[in-house]
Amino acid sequence: MKVINTIAALKSLLEPIKLDQQKVALVPTMGALHKGHVSLINIAQQQADVVVCSIFVNPTQFTDPKDLEKYPRPLEDDLKTLEEAGCDVVFMPSVTEMYPEPEVWHIDLGPAEFLLEGEFRKGHYQGVTQVVKKLFDYVSPDLAFFGQKDFQQVLMIKNMVAHFNLPIQIISCPIIREDDGLAMSSRNIHLSAADRKNALVLSRALSFVKDNFSKLSIVELVEKAKVLIDETPGVELDYFIVANGETLLPENDKSHHDIVALVAAKVGETRLIDNMILN
């Protein structure tokens, strides 16, 4: 496994691979890797010859400076995880490597940018697309793998790719969960034992909606899911929505082909998100 810190070294490593017509996959991450990240690497390995994983805690996508500051960075463990996963290249740039000068970035990501996470984390998807565009420019991957865990993020990346007409296939990969249903997240390590137990209500509420999708109306499903969450101590709901998977607007028509339930809540001091595709 090659560990690379500079854009120049990355480009010269990848140049012969591209000339050789090998397929390159990119898996962007912010580190603190868990089985969810490893699943993306494994899926990428099945579809490409060379897998590049980036580890970069991107400051421009954080709206809360405290969140950025306390973001976990267990670098040695991450490198071990990637080595064991058989990752080919790790790109781990510094902040000055990625942002040598202050820069302005703003692109039209469509109206869904401002909904859900976009409402609670203003400017988040500008920061996300800014850094992913840089990574796409430096790696020039044929394919890039993202987790459905960040459902809205996948949508925003697809919109960014369409905006620049980039020849990169974006692949959304299933959510990896703990045995009890909690969606794996780098932020889960901040949960106290009580938080960890209370956090289960998020996946339970989503499963309730999925399991009862044919029996109850969408209004009833959302109402009951919200009650479940509101009844749980230490959990403060930001949103629970059954939405159209393309527009992220509330969906009322159960026969629509692309419906997803999305939730975000603060559990103790930690903000968690999760979702489930309903049809």
3-state secondary structure 211-266: HCCCCCCHHHHHHHHHHHHHCCCCEEEEEEEEEECCCCCECCCCCCCCEEEEEEEE
Strands (E), 87-191: 89-91, 143-147, 169-173
134, 28 Cβ separation under 8 angstroms: no
User: Hey, which residues are catalytic here?
Assistant: 37
Which residue of 24, 184, 248, 265 would you call a contact of ligand AMP, by CB under 6 A? Answer: 184
Residue 203 or 244 having the CB closest to ligand AMP: 203
Shortest spacing between CB 145 and ligand AMP, in angstroms: 7
Q: Which of 34, 35, 39, 61 is nearest to 51 (CA)?
A: 39
**Pattern 90-119, binding to ligand AMP, x per CB under 6 A?**
------------------------------
- CA–CA gap between residue 45 and residue 27 (Å, rounded): 10
Looking at 28-36, 65-73, 114-122, 193-201, which segment touches ligand AMP (CB under 6 A)? 28-36
Looking at 16-24, 90-98, 144-152, 262-270, which segment touches ligand AMP (CB under 6 A)? 144-152
Which residue of 38, 82, 156, 175 would you call a contact of ligand AMP, by CB under 6 A? Answer: 175
Shortest spacing between CB 56 and ligand AMP, in angstroms: 9
- CA–CA gap between residue 155 and residue 124 (Å, rounded): 13
DSSP state of 4: E
Residue 39 or 218 having the CB closest to ligand AMP: 39
Size of the site for ligand AMP (CB under 6 A): 17
Task: Kindly list the residues in this chain that would bind ligand AMP in the complex (CB under 6 A).
Answer: 29-30, 36-37, 39-40, 146-147, 149-150, 173, 175-176, 183-186
